[in-house]
Each structure stands twice: as structure tokens, then as C-alpha cells.
A and B are shown apart, each in its own frame.
Chain A
Amino acid sequence: MKENMLAMNKKSFLGTVCAAVALTAILSACGDGKTRSTGWEFARNMYDPIAFNPDQPNKNFADGITAQTPPDGTTPIGFERFEFANTVEDYERAGRELVNPLIVTAENLKQGEALFHTYCTVCHGVDGKGDGPITQDRSVEDSRGKRQLENFPPPPSFHKSTGSMSSRGGLMSDLTDGKIYHTIFYGLNSMGSYASQVSPEERWKVVMYVHELQKK
């Protein structure tokens, strides 16, 4: 019987090959293709930059961070000084003194709209009505199960037709260039400062687009 097995007729030969192929296929299909390790690497030093990337640790600085915050009193390229303090008085003064330096053009408005949708819609809503997705009831289903997410306090609507009040007095639809710019720069109540995310020119484009929403 043993001799029979070793002689290996065609049938059992084919059977062995089939079994080997099937085993390989099954083994190679294991896992979902995600891994905690980067696997084998060749010449790792070709991946790591010689100059420091902003997100890399850096021993040359006392705090060990490459991306240093600019020293006090300096102005980054592409940014400009904003000579108004975060007080109610300066907010009112900005409202009186500042005027949008950009002219209303279709292109500026289009860019303002795109910026508004990127940075503001989350809370203020697509239309500026204060009904952004994170102010609404919503739930998530993930590895921790299904659960309700916390609602962000909804901001007041910009629309003239709603007649919402600003917390600093006056109607939201009456906010002037400088007041909107001041709020983008410093934030207000639950809203944070957007000075680090939106450049001065972009802020003015957003201001321009908010005026369009106020007309509604």
C-alpha cells in the first residue's frame, strides 16, 4: 500500500498540485490587507529628508519641535497686522473704520463662497442659516457601536428674513465689513479664531460672501 502511494499515479499527482495551489490561495487571502508595520524597507535613509519636515522632532530647538511659532511682534509672509484688540470697543471701532479692500467681482464672490463652504458651513450651514451639519442631531456606527453625537450650539442666522440678533447688539444681517472680519480673526462665544486657517485676503472674500447671505 505504501509503495502504491509513492508511485504516484497521475491522479494523485494532480491532486497534490491542486491541494498545494488551494493552500497557497487560502493563505495569501488571509487578513484584510492592513498592517501595523511598514514591512521591509530598503535604504530607509532615502525616505527621511535631510532638511527637517515641519512635523518632525528637532533637537536644535529647546522644545524639540521643528514648526516653531513666529516670535512675538513678527508678521508671517502673506499676512498683515490687525491693529484691533479683542475687546467690544475695538470690535465696534473695526466696524466703523475697516472697509473691504477687495472689489466685488464674480470671481471674488465665487472664491468667497468656496471658502465659506470649507471653513464656515460646518456650523453656519450651507446658506448661513445657522443649521450646519454639526448643529443637527446625528449618529455614528463604528467599532464602539451606534451612538448619538453631541450637537454643537447653533450660531444665529445671517439672513435678513430671520432677524436674528448678534450677541454684541444689532441684527446679524446688519453686521459690517469690520465686525465680520474682527469675528473671523478673534472668534466669538463658541466660535474659535480662524486667523491661523484663513489668510487676510481669504477673510475679506468670506466677508464679501457673508454680505450676500445677509441679503436673503
Chain B
Amino acid sequence: MRNISSVLGRFTKGITLSFLMLFAIHSTSQAQDVKEGETLFKANCTTCHKVDRKVTGPALAGMSERHSEEWLVSWIRNSQAMIKAGDPAAVAIYEEYNKLAMTAFTQFSDDQIKNIIAYVKAEEVKLAEKANTPGGGEAGATGSSDANTWMIVGLIGLVVVTVLVIVILNRVIRSLENVILNNQAAILEAEAKNEEYTENKFAKFAKAFVKNKKLVGFAVLMLVALLAVGGWKTMWNIGVHEGYQPVQPIKFSHQIHAGVNQIECQYCHGGAFKSKNASIPSANVCMNCHNTVTAADHYDGELSPEIAKIYRALDYNPDTKEYGNNPKPIEWVRIHNLPDFAYFNHSQHVVVAGVECQTCHGPIENMEEVYQYSPLTMKWCVDCHKETEVNVDNKYYDDLIAAHEKLKKGEKVTAAMMGGLECGKCHY
């Protein structure tokens, strides 16, 4: 199978290559520079366009079939002017994309724009080639289809092995039955002896054990020690959730977002700067990127099931890009849970003390699934507070020292100077 498909793949590749060559000759005859088009495209167009799919603007594949080259050139140069002039095709696109204006590129020459169009055409051919060649084209899906063939081969193997085992066992049973039939009397005798023997063995052992006071003492000691150690450990771990890794409603990977994508922690957990809570981001923060990022490359062009959960929570329709009015909250499972009698403030630690998130939360940027890294016990807090030096080089401590100097000089301090006249001191 594999051989045939690779031969086929080579064959089609050869055909497409020659086709590409033809295309290249054809395009050079028009003096279009695909290379320059690529540079221009990547510098100016990728913000809103992709060849194969709709982003902010339409997918560009097939645009040369939809419109003439002259039309495209004048659209790219200044689409707004065309819309104002009332060109029906231009107005239709403008309306379809909710009156979103495309950047005008008046600085481009006709040739430059034609180069961009040529580049888009070349990309289209590459895409078509990808989709048609069995070898390269299904590259995206090979992972899953490979897994499927392995599974089928494995299942067949399993069935064969099972049948073999059944046949062998049947034979064994038959021969054993024969043996029993031939030696019934001898077996009965032996069984009786065996019972007597085992009974004797256990009784003897137990009696000897009880008689040996030292051994009994040792065994009891061991048991007590074991229970004590186990009990001690268990007791100290009551209410300590170190290593707690609950299953979350969405398989959100911090490794991808904070690690590979290098998104700052506070981008999502902005509360860590400003408040007691580090805050779980609302789904609109997810949508800053996931209005565009659907991970479709890994799901055969379909939306990722995990990203679909965000859309469902927001009642968002990715096709029309509209929000419905039936949102449902994502019920994340809280991992770090301080008892309500202990006060902890994130902003105090992150902003004032400048503590890194990883100091308490561990290597979050490598965690595919988050777990509680620190024990969050009082001892753990106290140990860190004993070692951490306070940065006294700031206005608060300058004021404090100045106030002390005043006191030393014998200046009087009144309640009013300490905020004793503020309304809220009495009328709260």
C-alpha cells in the first residue's frame, strides 16, 4: 500500500512540478515577480488576509477568477474610491464585510500590485497541489489515519492471538481431563493428605509464634511504629493541597500560552497587579486571540473542540462572528484555596515586593495542566517572610524616617496629623 501511494505521490508530484514550471514560464512571460510579490504581501497584507481562509478580510484564493486583474489593481490601490464611485462588486464586498474599509495602498505601482496578485496565484497553485497529492496533501491528516491503521492492525492481531489461546487451552483441558479419569483414586488420597499437612503447618506456626514473646513484642512494636508514622504524615497533610491537580472544564495549557507564546501572566491575570485576587480572565480576554486562532490545522480544518467551548460559553457563532444572548459561564475549578481566615493580597506581593509569579506557583510556563506547586501552609509563608529583605529605598520609608526625626526634635504630633479628622474615621 505504502509503496503504491508513494509511487503515485511521486508521479503526481512530477506532473504538478511540470505544471508549476509551465506556470513559471507563463508568469515570467508576463514579467511578474512572485518573489517581490511575496515580500510585499507579507509586509502589507497578512495583517488581514490569508490565501486559504477568511480572517479580517476575505480568503484570497480564487480572487483572480472572481475579478479581472484591472479591477483587483484598482481595488487594492483604493477600495474606498471604488465604493464611492458605486462599482457594484466593490459595494457588495463592502456590505458583506460590515462596511470594514480596506487599507488604501496608493503608494504601490501597477507592477507591484500585479506582483502581489501573481504571488497569491502561486500560493493558490501550491495549495491545490497540497490538496491533490496523496503523499504531501494529507500531511495534516496523516497523524490520525496512521493511528487508525495501527489500531486496525492491532485489533486483528489481538483477535488472532485470542483464537490461538482458546485452541491451545481447549487442548490442555482435554488432556487434563484424561489424566484425571486415569488417576482418580490416587488424586483423592493425595488430597486428604494435603489437607492434613496444611492444617498442621499453620497450627504449628501460630503456636510457635505466640510462644516466642520476643517476636510478638517486635511485631507489635513494628505495627505501632508503622501506624504512628503513617498517622503523623496523614495528620500533617490534612488541608494541605500541594500537588492538587483537578480536571478543568477546558484543557487550557499554560505551557502553550505562557511558555511558547510568551504571553505575560498579567495579560490574563491582571488582578495580580491591582487587587487581592489574581483573577481568572473572563472569556472576552480569550477572544482577543481566539476570534482568529481556531487551531483548525490540527483538526482537519474544523474548529478545535476546546476552543469551541469558549465559543459555546459566549454563545458566539464563528461563521457569522456574532454573539448570541445566551452565554454560560465556564466553571473553572479553583486550585489554590487559602482558608477564609488567612488574608493574602496578590498586588502587595507582586507590585510592592516584586515577587515573581513562579516563586509561589512554580514552573507554570511548563505546565500543560496546572497543579498546586506550594503547600500554602503557614510555615511556608513564615519561612519566606523570615528571609525576605524589605526594600526601604522609597517614599514611604523616607516619610517614616522624617516623622521620627521630627519626634526626636520634640515636635508635637496631634491626632489630626494622623488623619484623625477624616470623615470615615467616625462616620463609616
Report chain A residues within 8 Å CB of B371. Answer: 34
Contacting pair A39 B292 (CB below 8 A):
no
Which chain B residues (222-261) contact chain A, with CB distance < 8 Å? 222, 226, 229, 234, 237-247, 253, 255-256, 259-261
In this assembly, does B104 line the interface, its C-beta being within 8 Å of a C-beta of chain A?
A: yes
In this assembly, does B197 line the interface, its C-beta being within 8 Å of a C-beta of chain A?
A: no
What are the interface flags for B99-138 relative to A under an 8 Å C-beta threshold, 1 for contact and 0 otherwise?
Answer: 0111111010000000000000000000000000000000
In this assembly, does A165 line the interface, its C-beta being within 8 Å of a C-beta of chain B?
A: yes
Within the complex, the shortest CB–CB distance from A92 to chain B, in Å, comes to: 12
In this assembly, does B386 line the interface, its C-beta being within 8 Å of a C-beta of chain A?
A: no
Report chain B residues within 8 Å CB of A85. Answer: none
Contacting pair B292 A153 (CB below 8 A):
yes
In this assembly, does B397 line the interface, its C-beta being within 8 Å of a C-beta of chain A?
A: no
Alpha-carbon distance A199/B245, docked complex (angstroms)? 33
Contacting pair B102 A152 (CB below 8 A):
no
Contacts A118-B267, A169-B103; A34 near B297 (Cβ below 8 A): no
**8 Å CB contact of A189 from B44, B48, B214, B266:** B48
Alpha-carbon distance A192/B43, docked complex (angstroms)? 21
**8 Å CB contact of A167 from B43, B103, B222, B239:** B103
Alpha-carbon distance A71/B334, docked complex (angstroms)? 27
Which chain A residues (131-171) contact chain B, with CB distance < 8 Å? 133-134, 138-140, 142-143, 145, 147-150, 152-156, 164-169
In this assembly, does B287 line the interface, its C-beta being within 8 Å of a C-beta of chain A?
A: yes
In this assembly, does A41 line the interface, its C-beta being within 8 Å of a C-beta of chain B?
A: yes
Contacts A20-B222, A48-B340; A2 near B255 (Cβ below 8 A): no
Report chain A residues within 8 Å CB of B297. Answer: 148, 150
Alpha-carbon distance A50/B46, docked complex (angstroms)? 52
Contacting pair A46 B204 (CB below 8 A):
no
Report chain B residues within 8 Å CB of A8. Answer: 212, 214-215
Contacts A3-B208, A49-B340, A55-B334; A88 near B55 (Cβ below 8 A): no
Contacting pair A122 B263 (CB below 8 A):
yes
**8 Å CB contact of B243 from A34, A50, A187:** A34
Contacting pair B48 A190 (CB below 8 A):
yes
Contacting pair A33 B243 (CB below 8 A):
yes
Which chain B residues (247-298) contact chain A, with CB distance < 8 Å? 247, 253, 255-256, 259-264, 266-267, 270, 277, 279-280, 282, 284-285, 287-289, 291-298
**8 Å CB contact of B292 from A38, A48, A190:** A190
Contacting pair B215 A42 (CB below 8 A):
no
In this assembly, does B205 line the interface, its C-beta being within 8 Å of a C-beta of chain A?
A: yes
In this assembly, does A35 line the interface, its C-beta being within 8 Å of a C-beta of chain B?
A: yes
In this assembly, does A191 line the interface, its C-beta being within 8 Å of a C-beta of chain B?
A: yes
Contacting pair B245 A36 (CB below 8 A):
yes
Report chain A residues within 8 Å CB of B208. Answer: 2-3, 6
Report chain A residues within 8 Å CB of B338. Answer: 47
Contacting pair A192 B266 (CB below 8 A):
no
Report chain B residues within 8 Å CB of A155. Answer: 47
**8 Å CB contact of B339 from A34, A46, A142:** A46
Which chain B residues (14-48) contact chain A, with CB distance < 8 Å? 43-44, 46-48
In this assembly, does B209 line the interface, its C-beta being within 8 Å of a C-beta of chain A?
A: yes
Within the complex, the shortest CB–CB distance from B246 to chain A, in Å, comes to: 6
Which chain A residues (180-199) contact chain B, with CB distance < 8 Å? 187, 189-194, 196-197
Alpha-carbon distance A50/B340, docked complex (angstroms)? 8
Report chain B residues within 8 Å CB of A48. Answer: 340
Alpha-carbon distance A89/B422, docked complex (angstroms)? 47
What are the interface flags for A105-137 relative to B under an 8 Å C-beta threshold, 1 for contact and 0 otherwise?
Answer: 000000000000111011000000010011000
Within the complex, the shortest CB–CB distance from A165 to chain B, in Å, comes to: 5
What are the interface flags for A34-62 relative to B under an 8 Å C-beta threshold, 1 for contact and 0 otherwise?
Answer: 11111111100011111001110100000
Alpha-carbon distance A147/B121, docked complex (angstroms)? 28
**8 Å CB contact of A154 from B46, B234, B285:** B46
Alpha-carbon distance A139/B266, docked complex (angstroms)? 23
Within the complex, the shortest CB–CB distance from B338 to chain A, in Å, comes to: 8
Contacts A40-B234, A47-B339, A119-B267; A167 near B102 (Cβ below 8 A): yes
Alpha-carbon distance A66/B314, docked complex (angstroms)? 17
Contacting pair A147 B298 (CB below 8 A):
yes
**8 Å CB contact of B103 from A24, A154, A166:** A166
In this assembly, does B356 line the interface, its C-beta being within 8 Å of a C-beta of chain A?
A: no
In this assembly, does B11 line the interface, its C-beta being within 8 Å of a C-beta of chain A?
A: no
**8 Å CB contact of B242 from A33, A139, A143, A189:** A33
Report chain B residues within 8 Å CB of A117. Answer: 264
Alpha-carbon distance A102/B338, docked complex (angstroms)? 39
In this assembly, does A65 line the interface, its C-beta being within 8 Å of a C-beta of chain B?
A: yes
A13, A138, A152, A167, most chain B CB atoms within 10 A: A167
Report chain A residues within 8 Å CB of B87. Answer: none
Contacting pair B56 A118 (CB below 8 A):
no
Contacting pair B260 A143 (CB below 8 A):
no
A-contacting residues of B (Cβ < 8 Å)?
43-44, 46-48, 50, 55-56, 100-105, 107, 143, 204-205, 208-209, 212, 214-215, 218, 222, 226, 229, 234, 237-247, 253, 255-256, 259-264, 266-267, 270, 277, 279-280, 282, 284-285, 287-289, 291-298, 329, 331-332, 334, 337-341, 368, 371
Query: When A and B form their complex, which 6 residue pairs have the shortest distance between CB atoms, in order from nearest?
Result: A192-B288, A189-B56, A167-B103, A133-B262, A33-B243, A49-B340
Show 7 residue pairs from A and B whose CB-CB distance is below 8 angstroms, ordered by the A residue: A6-B208, A122-B267, A134-B262, A152-B293, A153-B47, A154-B47, A190-B55
Besides A142-B256, A165-B104, A189-B47, 4 new A-B residue pairs in contact (Cβ under 8 A), listed by A number: A8-B212, A55-B280, A156-B44, A190-B48
